[in-house]
Structure 1
Amino acid sequence: MYKHLLVAVDGSHTSENALDHAIGLAQGENAELTLVNVANPTEYMALAPEFLQHESYEAAALSEGNSVLDEAMKKALASLPAEKVHRHLLVANKGVKEMAQLLVDYADEQKTDIIILGTHGRSGLMHLLMGSFAETVMRETNLPLLIIRSDGEA
């Protein structure tokens, strides 16, 4: 049914759950799996400059995004053949809406069959303040979307 799956990874517990589901689905379907991280330099602006060990916020975001992808690749390659696993780093300089749109556009360009991602399942004030990446992806995509909720351990 699925020939090419895309999973968003950010290093969080919920994204690890989504990655586990994506790997299992890719195995069962003998499908390709693309791991995507959406780096956002603006997230690093809240850090005091003395804590930033890179020359810029963008360098910090790219470094962290690549580290997340490295770990996700190791996990995926333990279960899937190397030729079936791909990785991609996207860079968004605005908020959640741009991050989600970049992911959706990339999934469309790559002709993926499904997007898989984790969600914290926030509600109320936290949802209002932080927004919802998963909800925004859901509104922007026409592809099937598998959302894996946090198991409460995070």
Structure 2
Amino acid sequence: MTDIPWKKICCPVDLSEESRAALRVAADLSRRFGAELTLVHVDEGGAAGNGELARWKREAETTGAARVAAEETTGDPQTAIADYANARGFDLVVMGTHGRTGRAHALVGSVAESTVRQARCPVMVVHAEWGGLPR
């Protein structure tokens, strides 16, 4: 069996607790595989989260991620995350989910679901309540 060469991991963060769960998993995978980890925040036209994003970058570094970058992109997260990952040739996207169902899901849509459908690389979706998260 051939090893999967996960060397570039993208972790979209919306600065929520759901994103923090994905950050922990992405940082752990980065450490295990010696992969570069890029945190990406999609600015939807509001206030940019650069200061907060820098804190998240430090958190990933202290968790043991091999190499961490933090970047901002713009647009609608429904398409911007997959576009970003596809354009930069990531091997894996690790992202959180808000876990909305029913009417809330139908009205708001699922960014994770859109990313799974549009990204050309595997997408790992982490639920914030998963008990196996590293602390």
TM-score (norm 2): 0.85
- For residues 146 and 67 of structure 1, the distance between their equivalents in structure 2, rounded to whole angstroms, comes to 26
- SS of aligned partner of 2:125: strand
Which residue number in structure 1 is paired with residue 110 of structure 2? 132
Instruction: Report which of the two has the higher share of helix.
Output: 1
Aligned counterpart, 1:113: 91
Provide, for residues 29-74 of structure 1, a one-character-per-residue CA deviation record: whole Å limited to 9, x for no partner. 0100000000112xxxxxxxxxxxxxxxx4x2x2xx2133112111
Q: For 2:88 and 2:52, locate their aligned partners in 1 and report how far apart those are by CA, in whole Å.
A: 21
Separation (CA, whole Å) in 2 of partners of 1:116 and 1:137:
10
The equivalent position to 1:23 in structure 2, one of 19, 22, 27, is 27
| Equivalence for 2:133 | none
Question: Match for residue 80 of structure 1?
Answer: 65
Matches within 5 A, 1:5-154: 5-41=9-45, 58=46, 60=47, 62=48, 65-78=49-62, 79-81=64-66, 84-92=67-75, 98-151=76-129
RMSD of the alignment, in Å? 1.5
Counterpart of 2:61 in structure 1: which amino acid? L
Which residue type is aligned with residue 80 of structure 2? L
Q: Following TM superposition, where does structure 1 have runs of at least 4 consecutive aligned residues deviating by more than 3 angstroms?
A: none
Offset, 1:100? 2.9
* Partner deviation per Cα, 1:118-138 (whole Å, 9 max, x = no partner): 001111011112211101111
Give the number of aligned pairs.
125
Q: Could you list the runs of 5+ residues in structure 2 that have no partner in the other structure?
A: 131-135
Q: Secondary structure at the match of 1:116?
A: strand
Shift of 1:103: 1.5
User: Which structure 1 segments of 5+ residues have no match?
Assistant: 42-57, 93-97
